[in-house]
Amino acid sequence: MATFLYKLGRLAFRQRHFVALIWVALLTLAGVGAASAPAAGNTSFSIPGTEAQRAFDLLEQRFPGANADGATARVVFKAPGGEKMTDAGNEATVRKTVKELSGGSEVAAVTDPYVTRAVSQDGTIAYASVSYEVSGMELEDSSRTALKTAAQHARDAGLTVEIGGDALHTVPQTGAAEVIGIGIAAVVLVITLGSMIAAGLPLLTAIIGVGIGVATITALAKALDLGSTTSILATMIGLAVGIDYALFIVSRYRAELAEGREREEAAGRAVGTAGSAVVFAGLTVVIALVGLSVVNIPMLTKMGIAAAGTVVIAVLIALTMIPALLGYAGRKIKPTGESGLLGRGRDAKKPGRPNMGTRWASFVVRRPLAVLLLGVIGLGAAAIPAASLELGLPDDGSQPTSTTQRRAYDLLSEGFGPGFNGPLMVVVDAKGSDDPKASFTKVTDEIKGLKDIVTVTPPQPNKAGDTAIVTVIPQSKPSSTATEDLVHAIRDAGADIEARTDAKVLVTGSTAVNIDVSQKLNDALLPYLALVVGLAFLLLIVVFRSVLVPLKAALGFLLSVLAALGAVVAVFQWGWLSGLMNVEQTGPVMSMMPIFMVGVVFGLAMDYEVFLVTRMREAYVHGEKPGQAVVTGFRHSARVVTAAAVIMIAVFSGFIGSSESMVKMIGFGLAVAVLFDAFIVRMAIVPAVLALLGHKAWWLPKWLDRALPNVDVEGESLRTEQADPADDRELVRA
């Protein structure tokens, strides 16, 4: 591995024009593809294997043209103070609005609240339901504009009007904080590398890599049914790993220059050593992201694969474009310790004084047990809120109060009760029943006898008369445990009815979908952990040629991810520091958050493990004692790992400003997880454990040692290999 990457680095350095041309061409090709690709249309959300999905599939068969997955909107009207919606003037305004809404080209139907009796008991609030022939993601902007215009006309007439539903779904915005995060990353790079040019290389290559990845996702969005969140998450992860991978190679290049090597040779050795760590670190991230497919939720699978593709691009760019750009930069990239933009390096100022990484590692090696206990207790305390974790999917009730969707949600709760925002759709399949009508009546009567129900509508059969829809309005809000219990109660009653009448009862609707997704994700979490941690464990055994080091890495990851989940619960569920994070509405943590965070954080945690511990192993295999090897690893890597962690935290924190609650929550969770993992687990717990284990840390059974391939991540072959004199004549000196 090291020898191959060494040759690749030297080749890219020599053939820099060709390498740069290839990446520019790929970026141009992806950009042209994105610009010429058709606009992304319908982004389906399916959850195979769940009852809610089976019900949707059945509705498509038995109620053709009903557009069960079409976009919906609820236009909610509230009368001015002292008036009623039944007053003649207000009723005329509403009927005029309904007529205006019916004229849309994509509108399937609009209900009149005075015909459907959609007026609250006190007469102050009414609503009209608008259903569309296409989904919310597929809806034309002109239809959204017409919806907003009709609502504004009613406002102009004196009514309070708000719009709920998925018809107003828009692409989430990440906000200016993302740019601030990149700016912080740039400052950290300048401080770490000592010059604007050296700092610019990781930023440039990361932006090119993300540009290729996101443009490719945009070009394929319609063909592969990719959602808008996919490109945002790919950007988030691609920027973070792209900057970090390039930073490690540039830092190693400067270290090689400081040892007196020629620039081409230094580039080759940097790619051969730090590049090997980049490859395996990238592999762990890819394994974690692609492993999301085991959940069997297509949207989550696509998000993981798209983000994994961006990581692969980041690895390839770091291995090829960075040495090419180093060739262009020439002598403008200074060796470690030489004077630069910020003055002379610390090592040059005080050559006899150990750097901060060395001093910290020496302290940990002297007091390993105390550091270990303090780190574990601290993370354990942070993880305590995770015991109260509640999962759910967001609805309009989780939107900021400044949005019309949230105000419509609140008005409906005020006029019709909190459960009105989460109606349950009960589908009765009586095709196998001898008396379908009797089955419909039986199901309705059974449901009416359950607790926590406000209304049960009469069954609405299809034309064939073998299937009916019964709408159930719960008493509790959609995200409550009482509503979840009601869904399970209806399903249990349906099982008894099927046994007696041969009629199948299926519960669906957005609330039931959320419950099924949460359950599916909960069931998949342990198998996913076993798969991802197991594969990465095997990979790290190959990298470190040790059993205990990968085991320690996995256990440390579990500590950091549990602590990060605790922080997410404290902020987004309990409301701690919610004002600082701009979290207007607390509630259950998004169902996809834990499993997605587990995947991404595991991959990123292994990044720091590989970068930091490979330097320790490199020192150990060259004869240093275990404790001294830990100190040596920190002397060479602590500063760069710290910078890499700060950069990742800055990039992820930038996404906290997103208007999309899922992106905001994931950005916060990943930033906190990197903080815990990099500075507590990798910088404190890892050296403490290695110091306590001593030589046992690097133990590997002889039979396993013989069976494992020698990937040479430490670059041992490069130490014994002499450069070919012919190669030396080809060195490019700037």
3-state SS, residue 429: strand
DSSP string, 135-151: -TTT--HHHHHHHHHHH
Phi, psi of 254 (to 5 degrees): -65, -35
Q: Could you tell me the strand order of the sheet in which 160-164 lies? A: 107-110, 125-132, 72-78, 160-164
- Average pLDDT for residues 54-62, to the nearest whole number? 86
Give residue 24's pLDDT band: very low, low, confident or very high (50, 70, 90): very high
3-state SS, residue 649: helix
- Average pLDDT for residues 661-684, to the nearest whole number? 87
pLDDT over 70 for what percent of the chain?
89
3-state SS, residue 129: strand
- Average pLDDT for residues 128-153, to the nearest whole number? 85
- Average pLDDT for residues 31-37, to the nearest whole number? 84
Give residue 725's pLDDT band: very low, low, confident or very high (50, 70, 90): very low
pLDDT tens readout for residues 651-669: 888 778 776 677 788 889 8
Higher-scoring residue by pLDDT: 348, 122: 122
C-alpha span between 437 and 605 (Å, rounded): 59
Higher-scoring residue by pLDDT: 684, 277: 684
Indicate if the pLDDT at residue 222 is higher than 80. no
Q: In degrees, to the nearest 5, what angle opens at C-alpha 24 toward C-alphas 21 and 28?
A: 135
Indicate if the pLDDT at residue 42 is higher than 70. no
Indicate if the pLDDT at residue 171 is higher than 70. no
Of the candidates 201, 179, 175, the one whose C-alpha atom is nearest the C-alpha of residue 254 is 201
Of 97-111, 125-139, 254-268, the range with the lowest mean pLDDT is: 125-139
Indicate if the pLDDT at residue 26 is higher than 90. yes
CA distances from residue 470 to 379, 424, 461, 544 in whole angstroms, order as listed: 49, 8, 9, 60
Question: How high is the mean pLDDT of the chain?
Answer: 83
Residue pair 546/700 in contact (Cβ under 8 Å)? The answer is: yes
Give residue 732's pLDDT band: very low, low, confident or very high (50, 70, 90): very low
Task: Tell me which amino acid residue 606 is.
Answer: M
* Helix residue ranges per DSSP H, 436-509: 436-448, 481-501
Longest Cα–Cα distance of the chain, Å, equals: 97
pLDDT tens readout for residues 494-542: 888 888 878 899 998 888 888 888 888 888 888 888 887 788 788 888 8
- Average pLDDT for residues 114-125, to the nearest whole number? 90
Q: Is the pTM of this model over 0.85?
A: no
The first and second tokens of residue 668, run together, are 């916060």
Indicate if the pLDDT at residue 580 is higher than 90. no
Count of residues in the chain: 734
Of the candidates 646, 623, 638, 639, the one whose C-alpha atom is nearest the C-alpha of residue 687 is 638
Phi, psi of 508 (to 5 degrees): -140, -160
Residue 550 DSSP symbol: H
3-state SS, residue 709: coil
Higher-scoring residue by pLDDT: 518, 725: 518
- Average pLDDT for residues 484-495, to the nearest whole number? 90
Residue pair 34/215 in contact (Cβ under 8 Å)? The answer is: yes
- Average pLDDT for residues 316-320, to the nearest whole number? 94
Indicate if the pLDDT at residue 342 is higher than 50. no
pLDDT of residue 349: 46
pLDDT of residue 345: 47
3-state SS, residue 506: strand
Cβ-proximal residues to 83 (8 Å cutoff; 6+ apart), any chain: 90, 124
C-alpha span between 85 and 708 (Å, rounded): 77
pLDDT of residue 148: 92
The first and second tokens of residue 550, run together, are 């990968």
The first and second tokens of residue 677, run together, are 């993992």
pLDDT of residue 379: 94
Neighbour-count burial for 513-532, b at 16+ CB within 10 Å, e otherwise: bbbbbbbbbeebeeebbebb
Residue pair 426/470 in contact (Cβ under 8 Å)? The answer is: yes
The first and second tokens of residue 475, run together, are 């008493």
Indicate if the pLDDT at residue 717 is higher than 90. no
Indicate if the pLDDT at residue 691 is higher than 50. yes
pLDDT of residue 510: 81
- Average pLDDT for residues 335-364, to the nearest whole number? 66
Residue pair 411/78 in contact (Cβ under 8 Å)? The answer is: yes
